[in-house]
């Protein structure tokens, strides 16, 4: 599909470029595509070529039009062109370098486009010839490295990074990448990220490219980028990376908000009265903004691979509401107020933050949570499902990280996080402004509760639910371990979980066809077990423990039914026998509570002649009858399986990376590579 | 005994040019005043002994340089004979009688003093400086050298006259001082250097001999001490009064010799210091010398009284400041200016505000007298430079804008900030070793007359401990360099020196950024936004740390390494935004020279912190499980950690492999839970009672120290309530620097838009009163908190740890103060409660007196803190003395004493309430004894000040009256009763509280 589009686009462009008068450069291209060595007649041919303004469209279309056999014939010339491009990169002459770069890009693109289906080796052969391939590529990459040495023409590197990003599709079979792998451009990417100016311009590309490079054949071989990314500990670089991700996500959130506000006008208000969830979905479709899995993937890799990146998540800075349009690289004024400072402060361009009272302080994690709340609203579309899944995976990694947990639970870091909530018929859209300022973990829990409540649908996202419940579990384990008594309204979580069980029960048959609902049920019941047996270590008040019992007793029907169901399944022989029997074991304490308190409550009602006990009365009964209740200590409740990408997630990531690289290729526009831009960059550098 | 102590101190701490009372021994300090001021007192014997000894010492030292007096003095002293016994360098004495007298004679004399016994050295009353000065005819820097010479007269006068205090004598003494100074200024500086060295070295030898004698003397003196511990304060007052009268007389006499005003000493010093601007002038004005010498002739026997005082151990910085302020006589001023050098830095720093205020606002003579000292200290210390610059700026701000620009204070400030006052000596950067050679060089440079003397000296330089030479060379060098421009230039051109152009900058920028944050925060509307912004601003600041910056409020040298930004919190203030930050520092030898600690990235935290720390005692806790089960459940934790470590390994390839290995096991469900379930089936199940869990929960909650609820309107309440130890532990755990042994946590309040000069004044007064009460052993408790004035509208405050305001207590706990006490400390009969109650009473009494004496107003509950031990602490001295908030005449009572306070004390009839009143009485009596010290602090600061607390003309008089000097103790007791009674019944206090509640929401 995208290919067709591409072609169409290219054709259109060719037609527009058909001008009566051919430029000199076009003539020269023609010469290249002739059989003869263009330098034979004109020894200065290559020199001249790179002095000429590049006509990318023509070059690409020319490459496009060459068919298989011709390729063989002109291969020498193309090799030669490539060779000279590489050589020209070393020139001192700026224009030549720029032109060579652009030509190279076009060459890659064109050739690659051409050989879409063919294996990578053909491309290599075509471009450089097998024999010299490695050496040339090395030259090519090393050229970049040398360039970087003295005063670091960053945008050259950036351009090169862009060039690479153009050839990244079909990532695992792309043999050119193999060369990129060998001749690492990792340092170049880091360089871009650590420098404020270059980050503004190329940061996004660099981060995306890095994400893709990290994913290059990661399951088949040892990927050097994984290793390298995992050990980066340079703060400016990591901060820079965080900033890029932050900006991209903020931009997304902003766009979404804008659209939402647009829609809110007439159409939304009338809508809310007659909403069915279906219709909402439609409305959401209109709201949906293209999700950005590439940047999410980058965030994932950073969080997953680099333990140091976690701190960046909490790095607070004012919310940036400006679109990502490359900020004009303001000349860096050397304002390091402390004389002895390493030049590491570049979180912002200026050390003094913009002063705007309305500016909320934010950090990457908050932005990410908001983003996740938007993405999770609707998981029907596959992109969004993938995004939501990736979000949950990232949250899983975060919840497992001790440092991240520490700042999630830091009582001193309070924020208002305005999560986006799906409008639903049984609840009004919450007024944003009234959210209290709380530790960040509350926002995470809110998000999880929100997800649990809003996704009980026929097309049950089992996988997402599992992740969701596991995240909660991991957070609880941390709280128990560190004895953190979070002031959170746990009741909301409990009732959401009970509702989830209820949903599983009522849709047992349909769900069982596709999913192992017992696993999810087990996780949910074990969450309750956590609260029941370890509540003393992390519940905020003694009342909250009573409320837990109240909630269980109040919803005892659900647990009764669940028990009946799992008992039935586990006594039958079948594939779910074992899974169901685990749930029956897990239910012991809940059932003990129900069986212990129900009679007590009934007798209390009977004695006092009250038909309907108030909550306070039930709580009273609960409080006075603890001592006669014995619970069974279940082992391993505070243990969890650590996240590992392989093999469970491998397939997901393979697919994700494929779709991302397709997208990236689609979006990398040559415009950004135009000569003016490049030259401008050069001029700012040298 | 005093002598013994003093003479010991140079040996022990040779570096300290400090008067004896700065160094620990309090007994000599207390004993000495009596000896001087009250001749008839029991200790007169000791005083005589000390004075006599001093005389002998100074005499011997002085006779050579000046070879005038000592002819007629009665050397019928017991030590005398000893003097003649062991003259260490006897041969030289005759050889250079006039040309190089100092070089040889001091050594001889000191040797002799040594043999004389401690008495001689001690007589000077201030460690090594005294000694050095004794020979220091040639010491222009005025390390009190001249005094000894004169003191000789003084002391012997004393003896002869049998300690009759004669104003004339004092005057004469001053004149002598001047004379000495003039004489010295003619001498080459190098000479003096050598002499000092020699003297000190000899001193060392001597000391050993002395010690035996000292012991004997100590015993004697201790007896005296015990006999009369309390009389001295009053006596001292008498003394000061007397000296005042003397001064008036001396003024009269001065008219006869007006030439003094052009004291060559001061002028020469001025040149030295300004040589950077004006170029050096090496020759002191000759003209000035003549008149003084003529004046010297007159009645030398009479003038020594004042000098005797100056010489005495009793003479401390406080008195120096007082005389500097009161004396109109340039000679005295110049002398004191010089004498400042001999006090320890710390002692003088206490009065830095006074010094600087005098410098800014008083006449030229005073300024000139102080200036050399200031310059000297600025050269030595960045800290001092900045403090001085800040204070100068603040105190100059009261001047009219036109005069301000060209005022002395502003100019000095500019000079300091221009960073031209670099450490002028090579010696600081050099290792101690080269200093001897340096000296040799100087010697060569000097006149040949010294040559012979230098030989023995040099030998001893090598022998002397390197530390000493190093330190001394520092001070020597400053003297040297400032006297002789050549010396300075030489050292300046020395390639070894690393000129650091940015000496002051890091700290200035640091402070500036902190203050700017405060200014920006003030524009934000809500506390929450302020706090959030504060946190993010600080996190940026963190990027620039560690750096060569420090917190000026701290006791010890350190570098700031990190600001745990999430801990910072905005304090309650209506329209300003003061905030408290916690600062992690690494202590170091010297913040100026020690290397700056390396930056550890924030991201290293996790490697620095072990997982065990995170456990927070979960392992050992009393969870209802049996211990084996605990162990069982935790046995898997290592697994967790191992995995974590795998992440730490640099090779992620390995991680991949590991991941594969892990996941190759078929089961996707949590391995742990599977294990646990299977194991449970096989094992005996464990049962727990639900009641236990519930009980543990409520117990745990009850046992956690009562924390405050988070309140967005009052974010500081929680932060301040958290016990300091707890906070330190928590922050240390989370800090990448936490593992270092030199790690410390400090905190500071940054205030922007508030004038802290009054706070500083209040701090000084409180500190003084605290010292007085300590000295008088009155168990009143107050907590002066350090103030750092950075300009007339900004500064820093040292926070009171573990304390929250009464307002916060009330608002958070919603109970009466007594109930809160019961909640925090236990029931009435518990020891904790009783201790807390006692502390409450002691602090109440202390602050009641403070509030009365200083007329502290605006006493609403937000301005009164309660610390975790039960003390109350008053903060915010924005309205003191003559100023009070402009509202309806509230707060007419003497101090704030609400019924709540009385309740905590156990009611009106309780013992503790009686104790409270008794404490106040004792405190008032004690304070009265030392009133002058307190008055002086305030009085000097009034000079040129436009602070509201000095509004009107009767500020000082009013303050003085509140000490009620005229009342008998019975009358004072009555007064206290009245004050307490009045305050308690005061309706206005209650009114003011409700007024605050209505207007500012302060409960």
**CA gap A476, A471 in Å, rounded:** 9
- Asked, as a colleague might, if the bond just before B546 is cis with ω within 30 of 0, I would say yes
> Chain A contacts of B636, Cβ < 8 Å?
636, 639
- The answer, yes or no, to whether residue A561 has pLDDT greater than 50, is yes
> Chain A contacts of B505, Cβ < 8 Å?
338-339
> Chain B contacts of A529, Cβ < 8 Å?
none
pLDDT at B719: 79
**Average pLDDT for A127-155:** 47
- The answer, yes or no, to whether residue A451 has pLDDT greater than 80, is yes
Q: What percentage of chain B reaches a pLDDT higher than 70?
A: 48
Confidence of residue B770 (pLDDT cuts 50, 70, 90): very high
Assess contact for B549 and B510: CB atoms under 8 A. yes
Assess contact for B51 and B159: CB atoms under 8 A. yes
Distance from CA of B531 to the nearest CA of A (A): 9
pLDDT at B802: 86
> Chain B contacts of A623, Cβ < 8 Å?
694
Q: Which residue has the higher pLDDT, A476 or B208?
A: A476
> Chain A contacts of B718, Cβ < 8 Å?
411
**CA gap B577, B516 in Å, rounded:** 11
pLDDT at A468: 93
pLDDT at A442: 92
CB atoms within 10 A of CB B487: 24
Assess contact for A113 and A6: CB atoms under 8 A. yes
In DSSP terms, B689 is beta-bridged to A630
CA A288 to chain centre: 17
- Token pair of B574 as six digits: 């209506």
**CA gap B459, B438 in Å, rounded:** 14
Q: Which of A144, A313, A291, A294 is nearest to A206 (CA)?
A: A294
Is B522 in the A-facing interface, judged by CB distances under 8 Å? no
Q: Which residue has the higher pLDDT, B95 or B590?
A: B590
Confidence of residue B211 (pLDDT cuts 50, 70, 90): low
**Average pLDDT for A140-159:** 45
- The answer, yes or no, to whether residue B160 has pLDDT greater than 60, is no
**Average pLDDT for B139-146:** 40
With 0-12 CB in 10 A as exposed, 13-18 as middle and 19+ as buried, what is B412? buried
**Interfacial B residues in 795-834 facing A (CB < 8 Å):** none
Q: Name which of A241, A337, A463 to mutate to probe chain B: the one with the most chain B Cβ atoms within 10 A of its Cβ.
A: A337
- Lowest mean pLDDT: which of B653-662, B879-888, B953-962? B653-662
Contacts of B56 (CB under 8 A, 6+ apart): B75, B77, B79, B80, B83, B113, B116, B119, B120, B123
Task: Inspect the interface and report whether the beta carbons of A635 and B688 lie closer than 8 Å.
Answer: no
Task: Inspect the interface and report whether the beta carbons of B686 and A339 lie closer than 8 Å.
Answer: no
Task: Inspect the interface and report whether the beta carbons of B673 and A629 lie closer than 8 Å.
Answer: no
**Average pLDDT for A497-518:** 90
- Please name the residue of chain B whose CA is at the shortest distance from the CA of residue A363: B536
**CA gap A600, A621 in Å, rounded:** 7
Q: What percentage of chain A reaches a pLDDT higher than 90?
A: 13
Confidence of residue B239 (pLDDT cuts 50, 70, 90): very low
pLDDT at A136: 52
Task: Inspect the interface and report whether the beta carbons of B694 and A626 lie closer than 8 Å.
Answer: yes
**Average pLDDT for B360-382:** 81
Tokens 């209820």, residue? A502
Task: Inspect the interface and report whether the beta carbons of B603 and A235 lie closer than 8 Å.
Answer: yes
**Interfacial B residues in 563-582 facing A (CB < 8 Å):** 566-567, 569
Tokens 């090579």, residue? B426
> Chain A contacts of B652, Cβ < 8 Å?
226-227, 229-231, 305
CA B330 to chain centre: 28
Q: Which residue has the higher pLDDT, B955 or A425?
A: B955
Assess contact for B34 and B330: CB atoms under 8 A. no
- Please name the residue of chain A whose CA is at the shortest distance from the CA of residue B655: A227
Confidence of residue B696 (pLDDT cuts 50, 70, 90): confident
pLDDT at B235: 47
pLDDT at A141: 53
pLDDT at A503: 92
Is B603 in the A-facing interface, judged by CB distances under 8 Å? yes
- The answer, yes or no, to whether residue B750 has pLDDT greater than 80, is yes
Say whether B179 sits in a helix, a strand or coil. helix
In DSSP terms, B580 is beta-bridged to B569, B749
> Chain B contacts of A227, Cβ < 8 Å?
650-653
Assess contact for B48 and B118: CB atoms under 8 A. no
- Token pair of A417 as six digits: 């996080």
- Lowest mean pLDDT: which of A447-456, B261-270, B743-752, B889-898? B261-270
pLDDT at B393: 83
Print burial letters for B918-943: b (CB count within 10 Å at least 16), e (below 16).
ebbbbbbbbbbbbbbbbbbbbbbbbb
**CA gap A4, A10 in Å, rounded:** 10
Confidence of residue B627 (pLDDT cuts 50, 70, 90): very low
pLDDT at B559: 86
pLDDT per position as a tens digit, A321-333: 333 333 333 333 3
In DSSP terms, B746 is beta-bridged to B583
Confidence of residue A524 (pLDDT cuts 50, 70, 90): very high
- Lowest mean pLDDT: which of A91-100, A433-442, B71-80? B71-80
pLDDT at B150: 40
- Asked, as a colleague might, if the bond just before A647 is cis with ω within 30 of 0, I would say yes
**CA gap A307, A288 in Å, rounded:** 33
- The answer, yes or no, to whether residue B288 has pLDDT greater than 60, is no
- The answer, yes or no, to whether residue B995 has pLDDT greater than 60, is yes
pLDDT at A155: 46
**Average pLDDT for A412-440:** 70
Assess contact for A62 and A10: CB atoms under 8 A. no
Confidence of residue A395 (pLDDT cuts 50, 70, 90): very high
pLDDT per position as a tens digit, B861-913: 888 888 888 899 998 888 888 777 665 555 667 788 888 888 888 888 888 88
Please give the C-alpha separations between residue A502 and each of A517, A557, B643, in angstroms, as whole numbers.
12, 9, 36
**CA gap B489, A70 in Å, rounded:** 83
CA A450 to chain centre: 20
Average pLDDT taken over every residue of chain A: 73
Q: Name which of B510, B516, B532 to mutate to probe chain A: the one with the most chain A Cβ atoms within 10 A of its Cβ.
A: B532
Is B641 in the A-facing interface, judged by CB distances under 8 Å? no
- The answer, yes or no, to whether residue B360 has pLDDT greater than 70, is yes
| DSSP H helices in B610-651 | 611-615, 627-634, 637-648
pLDDT at B304: 65
Q: Which residue has the higher pLDDT, A46 or B977?
A: B977
Is B631 in the A-facing interface, judged by CB distances under 8 Å? no
Task: Inspect the interface and report whether the beta carbons of A545 and B694 lie closer than 8 Å.
Answer: yes
- The answer, yes or no, to whether residue A392 has pLDDT greater than 90, is yes
pLDDT at A162: 53
pLDDT at B112: 38
- The answer, yes or no, to whether residue A160 has pLDDT greater than 60, is no
- The answer, yes or no, to whether residue B968 has pLDDT greater than 80, is yes
**Residue A345: which of B502, B543, B633 has the nearest Cβ?**
B543
pLDDT at A253: 85
pLDDT per position as a tens digit, A232-265: 877 778 888 888 888 888 888 888 888 877 765 5
As a whole number of Å, the CA-based R_g of chain B is 33
**CA gap B164, B197 in Å, rounded:** 37
pLDDT at A499: 92
pTM over the 0.80 mark:
no
Q: Which residue has the higher pLDDT, B604 or B138?
A: B604
**CA gap B434, B427 in Å, rounded:** 8
What is the count of residue pairs from A and B with beta carbons less than 8 Å apart?
264
**Average pLDDT for B637-649:** 35
Average pLDDT taken over every residue of chain B: 63
- The answer, yes or no, to whether residue B443 has pLDDT greater than 90, is no
**Residue A361: which of B536, B545, B696 has the nearest Cβ?**
B536
Confidence of residue B198 (pLDDT cuts 50, 70, 90): low
Assess contact for B421 and B392: CB atoms under 8 A. no
**Residue B697: which of A340, A542, A636 has the nearest Cβ?**
A542
Assess contact for B70 and B59: CB atoms under 8 A. yes
Please give the C-alpha separations between residue B659 and each of A643, A655, B669, in angstroms, as whole numbers.
10, 20, 15
**Average pLDDT for B28-49:** 38
pLDDT at B267: 37
pLDDT per position as a tens digit, A281-320: 444 444 455 667 888 898 998 888 888 888 888 776 654 4
**Average pLDDT for A463-485:** 91
pLDDT at A522: 92
- The answer, yes or no, to whether residue B604 has pLDDT greater than 60, is no
pLDDT at A679: 52
């Amino acid at each position: 599909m995208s290919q067709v589009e591409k072609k169409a686009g290219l054709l259109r462009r060719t037609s527009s470029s058909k001008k009566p008068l051919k430029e000199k450069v076009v003539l020269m291209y023609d010469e290249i595509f002739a059989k003869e060595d263009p330098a034979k007649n004109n020894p200065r041919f290559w020199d001249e070529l790179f002095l000429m303004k590049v006509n990318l469209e023509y070059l690409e279309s020319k490459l496009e039009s060459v068919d298989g056999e011709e390729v063989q014939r002109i291969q020498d010339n193309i090799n030669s062109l490539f060779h000279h491009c590489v050589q020209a990169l070393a020139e001192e002459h700026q224009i030549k370098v720029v032109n060579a770069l652009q030509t190279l890009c076009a060459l890659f693109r064109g050739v690659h486009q051409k050989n879409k289906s063919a294996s990578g080796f053909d491309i290599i052969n075509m471009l450089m010839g097998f024999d010299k391939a490695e050496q040339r590529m090395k030259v090519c990459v090393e050229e970049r490295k040398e360039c970087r040495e003295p005063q670091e023409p960053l945008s050259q590197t950036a351009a090169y990074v862009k060039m690479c990003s153009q050839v990244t599709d079909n990532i695992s079979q792309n043999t050119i990448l193999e060369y990129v792998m060998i001749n690492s451009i990792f340092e170049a990417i880091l360089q871009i990220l650590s420098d404020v100016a270059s980050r503004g311009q190329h940061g996004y590309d660099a981060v995306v490219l890095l994400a893709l490079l990290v994913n290059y054949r990661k399951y088949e071989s040892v990927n050097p980028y994984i290793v390298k990314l995992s050990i980066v500990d340079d703060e400016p670089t990591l901060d820079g990376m965080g900033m890029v991700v932050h900006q991209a996500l903020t931009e997304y959130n902003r766009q979404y908000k804008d659209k939402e506000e647009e829609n809110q006008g007439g159409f939304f208000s009338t809508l809310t009265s007659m909403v069915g969830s279906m219709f909402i979905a439609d409305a959401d479709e209109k709201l949906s903004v293209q999700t950005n899995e590439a940047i999410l993937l980058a965030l994932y890799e950073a969080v997953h691979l680099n333990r140091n990146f976690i701190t960046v998540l909490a790095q607070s800075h004012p919310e940036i509401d400006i679109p990502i349009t490359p900020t004009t690289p303001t000349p860096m004024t050397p304002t390091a107020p402390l004389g002895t400072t390493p030049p590491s402060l570049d979180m912002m361009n200026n050390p003094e933050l913009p002063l705007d009272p309305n500016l909320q302080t934010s950090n990457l994690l908050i932005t990410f949570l908001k983003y996740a709340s938007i993405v999770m609203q609707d998981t029907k579309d596959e992109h969004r499902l993938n995004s939501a899944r990736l979000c949950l995976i990232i949250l899983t990694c975060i919840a497992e990280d001790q440092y991240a947990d520490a700042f999630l639970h830091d009582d001193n870091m309070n924020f208002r996080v305005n999560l986006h909530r799906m409008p639903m018929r049984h609840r009004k859209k919450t007024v944003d402004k009234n959210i209290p300022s709380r530790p960040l973990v509350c926002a995470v829990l809110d998000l999880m509760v929100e997800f649990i409540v809003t996704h009980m649908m026929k097309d049950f996202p089992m996988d997402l639910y599992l992740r969701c419940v596991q995240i909660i579990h991991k957070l609880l384990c941390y709280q128990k371990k560190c004895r953190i008594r979070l002031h959170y309204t746990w009741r909301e979580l409990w009732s959401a979980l009970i509702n989830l069980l209820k949903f599983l029960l009522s849709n047992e048959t349909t769900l069982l066809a596709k999913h192992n609902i017992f696993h999810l049920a087990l996780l949910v019941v074990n969450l309750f077990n956590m609260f029941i047996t370890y509540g003393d270590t992390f519940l905020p008040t003694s009342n909250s423990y009573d409320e837990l019992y109240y909630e269980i007793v109040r919803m005892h029907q659900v647990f009764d039914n669940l028990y009946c169901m799992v008992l039935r399944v586990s006594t039958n022989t079948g594939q779910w026998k074992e899974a169901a029997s685990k749930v029956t074991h897990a239910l012991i304490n809940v059932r003990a509570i129900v069986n212990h308190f129900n009679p007590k409550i009934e007798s209390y009602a009977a004695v006092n002649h009250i038909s309907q006990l108030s909550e306070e009365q039930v709580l009273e009964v609960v409080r006075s009858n603890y001592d006669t209740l014995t619970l069974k200590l279940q082992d391993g409740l505070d243990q969890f399986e650590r996240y590992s990408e392989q093999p469970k997630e491998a397939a997901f990531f393979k697919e994700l990376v494929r779709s991302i690289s397709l997208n990236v290729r689609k979006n990398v526009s040559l415009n950004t590579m135009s000569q003016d831009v490049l030259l401008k960059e050069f001029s700012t550098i040298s | 005994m005093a002598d013994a102590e003093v003479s010991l101190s140079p040996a022990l701490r040779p570096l300290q040019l400090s008067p004896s009372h700065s160094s620990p021994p309090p007994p000599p300090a207390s004993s000495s005043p009596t000896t001087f001021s009250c001749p008839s007192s029991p200790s007169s014997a000791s005083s005589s002994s000390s004075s006599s000894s001093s005389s002998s010492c100074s005499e011997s030292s002085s006779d050579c340089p000046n070879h005038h007096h000592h002819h007629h003095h009665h050397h019928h002293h017991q030590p005398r004979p000893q003097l003649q016994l062991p003259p260490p360098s006897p041969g030289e004495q005759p050889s250079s009688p006039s040309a190089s007298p100092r070089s040889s004679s001091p050594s001889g004399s000191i040797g002799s003093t040594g043999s004389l016994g401690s008495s001689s050295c001690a007589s000077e009353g201030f460690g090594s400086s005294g000694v050095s000065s004794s020979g220091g005819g040639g010491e222009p820097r005025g390390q009190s050298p001249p005094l000894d010479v004169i003191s000789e007269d003084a002391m012997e006068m004393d003896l002869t006259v049998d300690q009759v205090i004669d104003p004339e004598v004092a005057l004469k003494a001053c004149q002598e001082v001047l004379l000495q100074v003039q004489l010295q200024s003619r001498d080459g500086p190098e000479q003096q250097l050598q002499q000092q060295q020699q003297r000190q070295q000899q001193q060392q030898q001597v000391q050993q001999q002395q010690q035996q004698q000292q012991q004997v003397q100590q015993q004697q003196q201790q007896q005296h001490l015990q006999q009369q511990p309390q009389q001295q304060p009053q006596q001292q007052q008498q003394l000061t009064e007397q000296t005042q009268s003397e001064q008036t007389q001396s003024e009269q006499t001065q008219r006869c010799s007006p030439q003094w005003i052009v004291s060559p000493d001061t002028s020469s010093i001025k040149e030295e210091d300004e040589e950077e601007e004006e170029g050096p002038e090496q020759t002191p004005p000759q003209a000035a010398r003549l008149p003084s010498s003529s004046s010297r002739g007159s009645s030398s026997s009479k003038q020594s009284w004042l000098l005797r005082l100056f010489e005495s151990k009793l003479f401390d910085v406080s008195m120096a400041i007082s005389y500097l302020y009161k004396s109109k006589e340039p000679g005295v001023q110049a002398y004191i200016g010089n004498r400042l050098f001999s006090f320890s830095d710390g002692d003088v720093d206490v009065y830095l505000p006074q010094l600087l205020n005098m410098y800014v606002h008083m006449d030229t003579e005073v300024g000139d007298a102080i200036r050399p000292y200031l310059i000297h200290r600025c050269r030595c210390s960045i800290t001092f430079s900045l403090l001085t610059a800040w204070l100068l700026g603040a105190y100059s701000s009261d001047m009219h804008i036109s005069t301000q620009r060209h005022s002395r204070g502003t100019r000095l400030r500019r000079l300091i900030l221009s960073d031209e006052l670099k450490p002028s000596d090579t010696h600081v950067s050099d290792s101690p070793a080269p200093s001897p050679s340096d000296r040799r060089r100087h010697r060569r440079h000097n006149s040949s007359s010294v040559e012979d003397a230098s030989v023995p000296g040099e030998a001893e330089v090598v022998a002397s401990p390197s530390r000493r030479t190093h330190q001394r060379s520092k001070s020597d060098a400053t003297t040297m360099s400032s006297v002789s421009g050549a010396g300075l230039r030489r050292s300046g051109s020395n390639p070894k020196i690393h000129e650091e152009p940015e000496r002051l900058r890091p700290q200035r920028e640091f402070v500036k950024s902190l203050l700017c944050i405060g200014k920006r925060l003030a524009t934000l509307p809500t506390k929450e936004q302020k706090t959030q912004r504060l946190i993010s601003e600080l996190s940026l600041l963190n990027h620039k740390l560690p750096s060569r910056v420090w917190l000026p409020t701290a006791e010890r040298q350190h570098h700031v390494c990190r600001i745990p930004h999430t801990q910072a919190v905005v304090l309650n203030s209506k329209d300003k935004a003061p905030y408290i930050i916690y600062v992690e520092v690494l202590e170091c030898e010297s913040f100026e020279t020690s290397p700056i600690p390396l930056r550890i990235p924030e991201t290293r935290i996790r490697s620095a912190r072990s997982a065990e720390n995170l456990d927070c005692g979960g392992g050992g806790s009393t969870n209802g499980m049996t211990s084996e089960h605990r162990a069982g459940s935790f046995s898997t934790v290592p697994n967790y950690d191992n995995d974590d470590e795998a992440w730490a390994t640099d090779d992620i390839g390995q991680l991949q492999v590991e991941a594969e290995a892990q996941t190759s096991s078929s089961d996707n469900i949590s391995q742990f839970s599977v294990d646990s379930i299977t194991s449970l089936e096989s094992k005996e199940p464990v049962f727990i009672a639900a009641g236990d869990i519930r009980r543990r929960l409520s117990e745990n909650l009850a046992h956690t120290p009562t924390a405050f609820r988070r309140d967005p309107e009052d974010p500081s309440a929680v932060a301040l309530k958290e016990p300091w130890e707890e906070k330190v532990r928590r922050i240390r755990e989370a800090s990448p620097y936490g593992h270092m042994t030199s790690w410390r946590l400090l905190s500071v309040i940054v205030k922007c838009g508030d004038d802290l000069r009054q706070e500083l004044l209040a701090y000084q007064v409180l500190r003084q009163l605290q010292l007085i009460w300590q000295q008088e052993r009155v168990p009143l408790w107050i907590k002066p908190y350090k103030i750092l004035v950075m300009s007339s509208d900004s500064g820093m405050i040292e926070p009171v740890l573990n304390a929250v305001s009464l307002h916060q207590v009330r608002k958070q706990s919603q109970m009466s103060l007594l109930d809160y006490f019961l909640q925090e400390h236990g029931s009435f009969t518990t020891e904790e409660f009783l201790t807390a109650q006692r502390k409450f009473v002691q602090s109440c009494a202390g602050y009641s007196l403070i509030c009365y004496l200083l007329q502290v107003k605006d006493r609403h509950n937000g301005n009164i803190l309660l610390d975790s031990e039960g003390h109350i602490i008053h903060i915010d001295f924005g309205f003191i003395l003559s100023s009070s908030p402009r509202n309806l005449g509230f707060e007419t009572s003497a101090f704030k004493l609400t019924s709540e306070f009385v309740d905590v004390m156990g009611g009106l009839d309780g013992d503790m309430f009686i104790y409270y009143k008794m404490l106040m009485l004792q405190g008032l009596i004690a304070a009265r004894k030392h009133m002058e010290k307190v008055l002086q602090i305030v009085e000097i600061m009034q000079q040129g000040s436009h602070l509201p607390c000095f509004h009107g003309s009767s500020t000082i008089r009013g303050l003085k009256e509140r000490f009620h000097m005229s009342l008998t103790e019975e009358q004072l007791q009555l007064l206290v009763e009245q004050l307490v009674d009045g305050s308690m019944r005061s309706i206005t206090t209650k009114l003011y509280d409700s007024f605050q509640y209505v207007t500012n929401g302060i409960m």
